[in-house]
Each structure stands twice: as C-alpha cells, then as structure tokens.
Amino acid sequence: MSGKSSQRKGREAERELAEVLRGYGFTAEPGRALNYGTEADVSGLPGLHLEVKRCERLQLPAWIEQAERDAKRFDDGAPAVIFRQSRQPWRVCMRLDDFMRFYRA
C-alpha cells in the first residue's frame, strides 16, 4: 500500500473508531488529519492513550512499543492499541496491570 493510501486508510480507521466510541457515550474525536504524530490518533477516553491500527497483518509488538512511547510523550494515560482487520471486530491490546486498574475502577 502506498504512503498516501496508507495514510487515508489510517485516517478512516481513526474516524470509524471515534464514531464507535461515541456510540458508547464517550466524546471521542479523531486527531487532526496529517498531524504527523503531534497528537493522539483518537482522544476522549480519559486515562488512555489510543494507538489506532487498521491492518491485515498484525504487528502487535511494534504497535505496543509505539503506543507506550507516545503515551509517555503525550502524558495522556495508559497505552492501548485498538485495531481491527477487515470484516473483524475492533480489539484492544494493553498491559495487564493497566487493564486491571481500569477493571477494578
């Protein structure tokens, strides 16, 4: 996939996920188009830094590293990767200790 079509697919995924999260009652918003890493992919879930991926080939270790790095840089919460493949539901990957803090709350 070329760079431009990959960016378009990523942007569409961010908008799609924000819409799904709004359906759950959150005020989720996708980051601005072409922000080149200057803001989170999707905001509006307090305490979480979301890294959004829409990809057929899963690269979880790399995505988790990116989420952890960006969560530290933005200081906006626990890192979480939200991803989906074609014709699959959205899924979430995060550290167990972070998940347990949210679950217990």
pLDDT in tens, the chain (105 residues): 666 777 788 889 999 999 999 999 999 999 876 555 678 899 999 999 999 999 999 999 999 999 999 999 999 999 999 999 999 999 999 999 999 999 998
**All structural domains of the chain:** 3-104 (3.40.1350.10)
DSSP 29: E
Q: What is the DSSP string of 49-94?
A: EEEEEE-SS--HHHHHHHHHHHHHHHT-SEEEEEEE-TTS--EEEE
Rg of the chain, C-alpha, whole Å: 13
CA distance 71 to 48: 8
Largest Cα span, the chain: 43
pTM of the model: 0.89
CA distance 100 to 77: 14
